[in-house]
Amino acid sequence: MKKLIIGVSAAALLGACAVTSEPANYEAAQTQPDVAPASAAEIERLNDLVSVYIDAEALYTEAAELPDNQPMVREELAKLAEERSKQREYLQARVAKLGGEPDTAGEALGTTHRVFTEMRTVFSEDSEAAIEEVLRGERYIVEEISEFMTTSPTEDTVELLVILRDDAEIHIEELEKLDRIA
């Protein structure tokens, strides 16, 4: 019964989309390389990616607070959350540099995923379940980036997307290894 109450409470607390503030350092926008002008559609797609990274950061931060005692898993997930935070800020700065207004809220789908993950880990008390959900998040990032790349973004954006996609793919491999030993 206690787990049910905790699970329902977790779902209620996570009912709103993840929200982040404006990039902590808008000076990052000034350090952005000069980029080719982007279309409004490209800026919108970049903002969609910002929302995905906001959700990923929130999910990974929550996953790092696992109910079982596996410090190695906690540390890896916390580091990944921090990395996604920095990448989110970079994406927000890129949107600002291109003249757009950076998103500061996640997606409804991301909220649903986090609630499911929270309930799953509360009921199973399992690091493996949290790792699997983070893996799903990383795979989703790769899918979103790959889809974005089919829309003919500017060369500058393609370079950024390749870096982000390659990073997510590396983390997928690392998480799969961690999942096998957790």
Please state the domain extents for the chain: 2-15+42-181
| Arch. (CATH architecture) of 2-15+42-181 | Up-down Bundle (1.20)
H, E, C per residue of the chain: CHHHHHHHHHHHHCCCCCECCCCCCCHHHHHCCCCCCCCHHHHHHHHHHHHHHHHHHHHHHHHCCCCCCCHHHHHHHHHHHHHHHHHHHHHHHHHHHCCCCCCCECCHHHHHHHHHHHHHHHHHCCHHHHHHHHHHHHHHHHHHHHHHHCCCCCHHHHHHHHHHHHHHHHHHHHHHHHHHHC
User: Considering Cα of 39, then 45, then 50, then 51, what sign does the dihedral take?
Assistant: positive
Find, among 125, 118, 131, 124, the residue nearest to 178 by Cα. 131
d(CA 24, CA 86): 10
The pLDDT score that the predictor gives to residue 15 is 37
The pLDDT score that the predictor gives to residue 31 is 54
| Per-residue pLDDT tens listing for the chain (182 residues) | 333 333 333 333 333 344 444 444 445 444 555 556 678 999 999 999 999 999 999 888 888 887 576 788 889 999 999 999 999 999 999 999 989 999 887 664 544 444 545 545 444 557 787 888 889 999 999 999 999 999 999 999 999 999 999 999 999 999 999 988 87
